Structure 1
Amino acid sequence: MLTILKGPYLQWPTLETMTFMWETSEPSTSEVRVFVAERIHSGHHGNFKRPEQLLSSVATQEYSTIHQVTVANLQPGTYYFYQVYSSNESGDVESNFYPFMTAAGDGIPFSFAVTSETGGFSGFDQSGGQINRNIFAQMKRYRPDIALFIGDIVDDGDEYDHWEKYFFAPGQELLVNTPSYCCLGNHENNGSWFYKYFAFAAPKNFYSFDYGDVHFVCLDSTDFIKSETYPYSSEEIGPGHAQYEFLLHDLRASSAKWKIVFFHYPPYVSGGYEVEAMRKLCSVMEQAGVDVVFSSHTIVYERSHPLKDGKIDFQDGIVYVVAGGAGAMPEWLLPKRAWHTSQSLAVPHFVQGVVTPQSLELRAIDENGNLFDLFRLTKDDEGNKSYF
């Protein structure tokens, strides 16, 4: 019998499009139906009426098991409902109805969530996966517009079953209505499943996108620092390297109010598994006005002071956040903080980001929903920063 194995889940939102993905048990056709979302204005029967008004349907008769369909001509920042459908000779299957919202435009506040290590922590996890489920549930509770996963989302990226066990199954209720972005960690092994399951811009292991007033850049630190030379760079991180050139030109081309870069290996952390070679990118990011860098790998939470030229700089510095979230390894922290450390705690967590045209706020929240760190960056029209 034809069944849906993974998803549906959302990818690559824009102002006018959304990409929908799911996996079926057998090769089959792909169809996405989008419905008008009608709010209820009286009574106590939920927020929306049952979807009935079909807005559009996009289908392909080509057979596949991993389905990817993009629906266009939508309105910015607008709620809709969707349903996916597949069929073949043995039967058909359709999903429930799920809400989604197109991307926010310039000047529109939005929120995002950040975590990692949903699979990387598995070798130390004594909870039977409960930590993962707790973190995903807390992220869903805060209703982010998008979610970032900073690598090691599975234990072994070459193992098909790991993608369901560590990511798609515990994250199902979040991923069904929250577009996600991921970077490669060392546990993904640059495996082919990463490239099959996500609809990022080519070449997929590094890319950039805009959402609201933020320009996000994803890098593949496992390409800079290959396993055979870890923790040292496999080749010079500088001009001529494809990702270095991409980062340089991509950041220069962006006029976004806020700039955020994310990759797996942490250039700054007062704990084990710091990868100082990644600091070769810092000058490029500093010159381009990057505000925050997210990384992971060390399974702790840590936020740096604003840094520039290897020093604390509250005017032009970058804040480095290690969001090694879906796990906790306190023994990986050094006995005392490093000079660059502002706040640090080894507890399972995620980071909630709240963005407006004037402010960027980060809140670190543990698996029980407790706030344990809060940081706010403001910027005036001339680009002058203030930190709180």
Structure 2
Amino acid sequence: MRQFSCFPVLAAGITFVSHVHGLVSNSSINSQTRIAYAGSTGMTVSWNTFSKIDRPTVLYGESPFALTNWATSDVSVTYNTSLTYNNHVKITGLKPDTWYYYLPTSLMKNDTSAGPYKFKTSKPAGDFDPYSIAVVVDMGTMGPEGLYTSAGKGVSPNNILAPGENNTIQSLTAAVHDFEFLWHPGDLAYADYWLKEEIQGFEPNTTIEDGYKVYESILNEFYDEMTPITTSKPWMVGPGNHEANCDNGGTGGYTASICMPGQTNFTGFINHFRMPSDESGGVGNFWYSFDYGMTHFVQYDTETDLGHGLIAPDSPEGGSEDSGPFAVADAQAKWIAADLAKVDRSKTPWVVVAGHRPWYSSGSICTACQEAFESVFIQNNVDLVLSGHFHVYERNAPIKNGTIDPNELNNPSSPWYITNGAAGHYDGLDSFTYPLQPYHRYGLSTDDGIYGWSKLTFHNCTHLTHEFINSANGSVLDTATLYRDHECGRRLWPKGESN
């Protein structure tokens, strides 16, 4: 990879390439431009094209009228059934907490009217200015190929959108200036629901041989829909079970016979994203960490590589997709322990972790995940554990080894657990298992028919607020503030404020 400076650019001098792949039938596919942090002084820019690019290049600068720097790579990759190539360029040596304008030089034809995009680099560790982030899990394609105002047979009427109701992608787009980045720990697009949608009469019929075209159509529609967010806000992703599958979606019995090469073993997920594992010693898009201001964030993998011979129930690693492992035995467990042990709490007093599957919920749980991760989170004083997979919103109390922390949110010594799998996808939300668990504090399920996302606000080094944002209208339906005595700043908020 090379970077050069002082490269004068005129808009008219930029060459855009658009060679249509033979399988493409949807001319509306855009370049799906997206960014991800590469340390506090770096950013990875990714985008898609119909043809392989020999030298993917990104022009950038601190002014939209002077993209005087450029970075290149040789990473332009695809897989057997993909309609596009994924291009990745890492820009390094940037100033922290600084706005930059950028433009890939080979955007698809229908993207050429876009001016330079812009991003802001990460706040460096030790910056105690307040900020907010957005978190979604289990968010699929919206509109006629996904979550919509109608659905197929068997889908609860509570789980479809009302006419004119905003979906979660629209809600995030409307609030894009209210958060610094979007964290998405698993289950993106739900393209593997293509067969379920057709069996239930929602999507037009196709043949098994052409199923990959429908799969790729749903996948590309989702990435297109995300572009208004992902061109300006880093999209930090993690693995979920739907990244490994080609038709999952509750159809049962079909997987082994119809999975096409390229749609199993996280292939699309591996090709489409580049997370900061190089900067943190992690592995690919599966486990990594990064600092942002006063917080150390850790993305971990509940789908594969649990270590100690553990396999999550119904996980891709243990299922018919034959997915993973992606490292030697116990590599993830050792990495998490080492990563958390070296956190400098004087600079990043908050430690927030996220993995796809929960082990504390009033429904679907992953006991193997609990065995793999809970003890190391407790030992290293993790503040908050985020998850999804169970398609509800459930805010729980802080918990340690199954026991509710007596302090609740007022300086607990246990991690706080929140599951929010209510972002929305084709067949929507799940039901709680009753009676609710004793650690349950607030929840929304299919009975409520409400989709939403999480907003985390780090006020200072001792107070962190979680809000559930109703996607339909942007209202806050649940809010709670965690107080932790990190001994590093003024206490500006009342201890343990919660609503």
Q: Is 2:335 the partner of 1:246?
A: yes
**Displacement of 1:53:** 2.3
Comparing 249-258 and 291-300, the one that deviates more: 249-258
| Contact 2:186–2:241 under 8 Å retained in 1 | yes
Give, in angstroms, the shift of residue 71 of structure 1: 1.8
User: SS state of the match for residue 163, structure 1?
Assistant: helix
Q: Quick one: structure 1 residues 334 and 211, their matched pair in 2 at CA, closer, same or farther if it must change by over 3 Å?
A: same
Q: Which structure 2 residues correspond to residues 1-388 of structure 1 after superposition, within 5 A?
A: 2=18, 5-28=30-53, 29-37=55-63, 51-60=64-73, 65-86=85-106, 95-105=114-124, 106=126, 107-119=128-140, 125-127=147-149, 134-142=167-175, 143=177, 144-156=179-191, 159-166=215-222, 168-189=223-244, 190-200=265-275, 201=277, 202-223=283-304, 224=306, 226=311, 229-230=313-314, 241-255=330-344, 256-271=348-363, 273-280=364-371, 281-313=373-405, 314=407, 315-327=412-424, 331-346=430-445, 347-355=450-458, 356-367=460-471, 368-382=473-487, 386-388=495-497
1:270 deviates by 0.9
CA deviations over 1:151-190 (Å, ceiling 9, x no partner): 1113246843343233x12211011111011111111114
Given that residues 101 and 117 in structure 2 are in contact (C-alpha distance below 8 angstroms), is that contact kept between their aligned partners in structure 1?
yes
Query: Which has the larger Rg?
Result: 2
Amino acid at match of 2:86: I
Aligned sequence identity (%): 24
* SS of structure 2 residue aligned to 1:127: coil
Please list the CA deviations of residues 226-249 of structure 1 after superposition, one character each: whole Å capped at 9, or x if unmatched: 57x437996xxxxx6222222222
- Going from structure 1 to structure 2, the CA distance change for 1:217 and 1:352 (only over 3 Å counts) comes to same
Return the offset for 1:15: 2.3
Measured against aligned partners, the alpha-carbon deviations of 1:240-277 in whole angstroms (never above 9, x if no partner) come to: 62222222221111123011111111111112x22233
Give secondary structure in 1 for the equivalent of 2:18.
coil
Residues in 1 aligned to 2:75 and 2:488: alpha-carbon distance in whole angstroms: 50
2:96 is paired with a residue whose SS is coil
Structure 2 counterpart of 1:112, which letter?
Answer: I
Query: Contact between 1:109 and 1:354, CA under 8 Å: does it hold in 2?
Result: yes
Aligned mates of 1:87, 1:349 — CA distance in 2:
32
Distance of aligned partners of 1:338 and 1:121 in 2 relative to their CA distance in 1, 3 Å threshold? farther
**1:133 Cα deviation after fit:** 6.7
Distance 1:59 1:246, change over 3 A: closer
TM-score of the aligned structures, taking structure 2 as reference length: 0.66
Q: Is the 8 A contact 1:183 1:219 kept in 2?
A: yes
SS at match of 1:86: coil
Task: Report the residue type matching 1:275 in the other structure.
Answer: C
Q: Equivalent residue for 1:40?
A: none
Quick one: which amino acid aligns to residue 362 of structure 1? H
Q: What amino acid is aligned across from residue 67 of structure 2 in structure 1?
A: L
CA gap 1:247/1:73 in 2 versus in 1, 3 angstroms: closer
Given residue 416 of structure 2, which amino acid in structure 1 is its aligned partner?
V
What is the distance in 2 between the residues matched to 1:20 and 1:77?
17
Cα 1:370–1:78 change in 2 (3 A) is: same
> Does the 8 Å contact 1:104/1:110 carry over to 2?
no
**What amino acid maps onto 1:199 in structure 2?**
R
Name the CA distance, whole Å, in 1 between partners of 2:366 and 2:148: 27
Q: What TM-score does the superposition give when structure 1 sets the normalisation length?
A: 0.84
Check conservation: 1:20, 1:70, Cα contact below 8 A: yes
- Contiguous gaps of at least 5 residues in structure 2: 1-16, 20-28, 78-84, 152-159, 193-211, 245-264, 278-282, 319-328
Separation in structure 1 between the aligned mates of residue 316 and residue 31 of structure 2, nearest angstrom: 37
AA aligned opposite 1:277? A
Listed one character per residue, the Cα deviations across residues 166-225 of structure 1 (whole Å, up to 9, x for unaligned) are 3x1221101111101111111111421111111111332111111111111111111137
- Cα distance between partner residues in 2 of 1:232 and 1:198: 19
SS at match of 2:303: helix
5+ residue gaps, structure 1, are 38-50, 235-239
More deviation in 288-297 or 304-313? 304-313
Preserved CA contact (<8 Å) 2:139 2:187: yes
Distance 2:295 2:288 in 1: 14
**In the superposition, relative to structure 1, how do residues 265 and 120 fare at CA in structure 2: closer, same or farther (>3 Å)?**
farther
